[in-house]
Structure 1
């Protein structure tokens, strides 16, 4: 029995070392990618994209369900994007609130006869509308079929070969679409570009334009600011350099219409359709039958702002859904794990996602349980346990501090010293407090997924309008 406990303890220690070294590698790779990107870009280049008729037209897709409180601000923001040719397609996915009504009132919608090629099966469409004041705005009203189904409906009716998907609670910088489209102009083999997502809770928006950027006021929101920076600057940026970014955020991505249709579009039954679609997309890109060598780009200065929960009653269900969605996506595509057919995605990306994302909560709770067991049996001392916990805590804080520094140097924003120190404090509270809460919520979600077979999406988060500047 004692031998088994020691073997388990040693295995968890090896797991911790492997996780720490991998995370450090991803931070370094992410920093190198950002440095390379910043050396390549020029302001004149983006001015050319904004003015050139050769820039590829883009269909911007906004799936919306019960978003009456915020949908107008989002649409106004997208209509003002500084891009030579783009259409905005809003899909009301059977909302039970006033979403379609507020769209009618604000944009004076009129029926539109528009039919697209039905490449992807979706729930029935009730009506399609256009706006006489905004000729590049299209609104679709359809039967509820979840977010993925709404995206697929818009894909079928879209005009252009590039599709930008953005969540209904998001706003992006005026030049955001230029930054997303740039790599497609430089690299014909590109299939997808993805940007950075940050909390919008500290934004001030005037007539669809971001006029002030700040941090969330609540500690829960501030901790998510730190968490998002860590996720995008070390995890996704570093992983993408290894062709292993298995979660392209559904809040902001730009994809070739051809690639999306060939993959089959987002899966309507997915708990988190962006994760599942990304993994399936990687399988498509690396499949040996695909000879076009298509690639994915991560754009560190294409920033999308999304509303994050500032109430614990909203935060916990969201993290529960994310964990169940991660498990579903990984095990639905389990054939890719350690499969050389899928290149570094199969040999590194999928094992990383399985071991250090999907199953990480189980390992961490097992470590806590093992530590208590060792103490009770007298196999270790409380001091030794504290030293190990301090080591893990220090590694977490150090890596997050590095990502915050990288964020400050990535041309994403200019943060005041006051806000910078708020983030530093949040790093310490996140590592010792909110992190443990996320772990136990994820453990519960894992139990619900495997034992209770829970597959629902949960209730949508209650929205509040983004603060507007006084005119």
Structure 2
């Protein structure tokens, strides 16, 4: 019932949003000199294979005034050299302020060819530390954080900044993240869109659609969107600094920061009526793993990061001081996200035990399994239907039917694989106290134009 509620709330939110926006409105934002300038932050570690395409993409965004800050977080490959050759970066004397403490900055560069491109080279301190270093050198009051493997739609910033222009109490906004594996790029621009070619990638295409189209969209209506993806965040700089910036020791810094951001909003409710906006037509594409050897470690890290974030902010759970976030959002995230693997594995174990004891029958268990499978398929199909009525519709009927097929396949193995990996990660976090980030994903060079 909760999932259905989120689907309906998400659908209503998208419908309301589509009724309010106009093309002329975004044209005005794009052409106005009064539009708030944005600093786009791109943390990077060993991203030489893809960093040029990402920077080219962000530099070409349709936005009046924005700077791009790339932070090389102690890379051991030739990321800096690649940036130097492509963008003609030259070292500057400035180091930025030190309001957010970070690992030492080795050098700051500026492009001679692109005046709005800044590159920071620093000692390794993980993604959150790199973001904080970029904040220290940023010039503009709004910060957009993306990953080094991301590709943004040309009008993505225009859509994300709209809530700030309409309501001065908006503290942050987020958008939709989708896999980039089916994109074809040419000099930083999207020239063709498609779906991932592997079943692992296609499964994640459906998973991302399900998560962003109704889970986060619906949760945002309930002030309970406790995971703003690190791949796409727009936030006021003064708010990020007051919250303390992303936590450098976080396993998944985006989840942990989002929870602290909600705590900050409610702690200061009497001073500022701050809120978080969700923009369903702002799209950022990120590379997803298409090898099982990369997919499983990623899901392991996400589960450990979720547990760390929830229990680091445990004081918000069932705490009326934090409004709907404390009474609904945090409990939802605790039971339906953080502890879900334990619940599912326990249910499977009890089903086997009851079967062996003769308390239940194979037929009864199969009926329950079929009902659970059917509900999941129905909700995900509803999600795809909502997507098809938005600007994120499939480019071809072939892609549409591939996505539908992946929905039915998800409950026939992939879901159970994720549950098993998450259960192992839960054991590693609580028993083995594992808090490392694991090995970074091997990147693919951007697809050549067709």
TM-score by length of 1: 0.95
How far apart, CA to CA, are the structure 2 residues paired with 1:270 and 1:167? 16
Question: Are residues 1:74 and 2:54 paired?
Answer: yes
Q: Secondary structure at the match of 2:368?
A: helix
The aligned counterpart of 1:217 is 197
How far apart, CA to CA, are the structure 2 residues paired with 1:288 and 1:139? 35
Question: Are residues 1:379 and 2:359 paired?
Answer: yes
Deviation at 1:113, TM superposition (A): 2.6
The aligned counterpart of 1:105 is 85
The aligned counterpart of 1:3 is none
Q: Are 2:179 and 2:204, in contact at CA under 8 Å, matched by a contact in 1?
A: yes
The aligned counterpart of 2:264 is 284
The aligned counterpart of 1:186 is 166
How far apart, CA to CA, are the structure 2 residues paired with 1:114 and 1:407? 46
Change (3 A) 1:56 1:399: same
Deviation at 1:117, TM superposition (A): 2.5
Q: Are 2:224 and 2:329, in contact at CA under 8 Å, matched by a contact in 1?
A: yes
After the TM superposition, which segments of 4 or more aligned residues of structure 1 sit over 2 Å from their partners? Answer: 113-117, 412-415
Deviation at 1:414, TM superposition (A): 4.1
Q: Are 2:3 and 2:215, in contact at CA under 8 Å, matched by a contact in 1?
A: yes
The aligned counterpart of 1:456 is 436
Q: Are 1:408 and 1:415, in contact at CA under 8 Å, matched by a contact in 2?
A: no
Q: Unmatched 5+ residue regions in structure 2?
A: none
1:164-203 pair list within 5 angstroms: 164-203=144-183
How far apart, CA to CA, are the structure 1 residues paired with 2:393 and 2:28? 22
The aligned counterpart of 2:371 is 391
Q: Are 1:164 and 1:253, in contact at CA under 8 Å, matched by a contact in 2?
A: yes
Q: Are 2:231 and 2:284, in contact at CA under 8 Å, matched by a contact in 1?
A: yes
The aligned counterpart of 2:240 is 260
The aligned counterpart of 2:135 is 155
Question: Are residues 1:408 and 2:412 paired?
Answer: no
Deviation at 1:112, TM superposition (A): 1.6
How far apart, CA to CA, are the structure 2 residues paired with 1:464 and 1:300? 28
Q: Are 1:288 and 1:341, in contact at CA under 8 Å, matched by a contact in 2?
A: no
How far apart, CA to CA, are the structure 2 residues paired with 1:418 and 1:432? 22
The aligned counterpart of 2:105 is 125
Q: Unmatched 5+ residue regions in structure 1?
A: 1-20
The aligned counterpart of 2:187 is 207
Question: Are residues 1:364 and 2:344 paired?
Answer: yes
Question: Are residues 1:244 and 2:224 paired?
Answer: yes
Q: Are 2:226 and 2:262, in contact at CA under 8 Å, matched by a contact in 1?
A: yes
1:284-433 pair list within 5 angstroms: 284-288=264-268, 291-433=271-413
TM-score by length of 2: 0.99
Q: Secondary structure at the match of 1:210?
A: strand
The aligned counterpart of 1:31 is 11
Q: Are 1:92 and 1:141, in contact at CA under 8 Å, matched by a contact in 2?
A: yes
Q: Deviations over 1:103-137 (max 9, x none)?
A: 01111111123343321100000000011110000
Question: Are residues 1:90 and 2:70 paired?
Answer: yes
How far apart, CA to CA, are the structure 2 residues paired with 1:220 and 1:319? 13
Aligned residue pairs: how many? Answer: 450
Deviation at 1:87, TM superposition (A): 0.1
How far apart, CA to CA, are the structure 2 residues paired with 1:109 and 1:55? 28
Q: Are 1:284 and 1:290, in contact at CA under 8 Å, matched by a contact in 2?
A: no
How far apart, CA to CA, are the structure 2 residues paired with 1:43 and 1:106? 35
Change (3 A) 1:350 1:33: same
The aligned counterpart of 1:44 is 24
Deviation at 1:412, TM superposition (A): 2.3
Comparing 408-417 with 311-320, which one deviates more in the overlay? 408-417
How far apart, CA to CA, are the structure 2 residues paired with 1:289 and 1:396? 37
Q: Deviations over 1:395-418 (max 9, x none)?
A: 100000001111111222443211
Q: Are 2:223 and 2:324, in contact at CA under 8 Å, matched by a contact in 1?
A: yes
Q: Are 2:32 and 2:64, in contact at CA under 8 Å, matched by a contact in 1?
A: yes
How far apart, CA to CA, are the structure 2 residues paired with 1:32 and 1:240? 12
Q: Secondary structure at the match of 1:244?
A: coil
Change (3 A) 1:125 1:290: farther
Deviation at 1:447, TM superposition (A): 0.1
Change (3 A) 1:157 1:313: same
How far apart, CA to CA, are the structure 1 residues paired with 2:107 and 2:100? 18
Q: Are 1:131 and 1:137, in contact at CA under 8 Å, matched by a contact in 2?
A: yes
Deviation at 1:290, TM superposition (A): 5.1
How far apart, CA to CA, are the structure 2 residues paired with 1:63 and 1:227? 25
Say what the alpha-carbon RMSD is for the aligned residues.
0.9
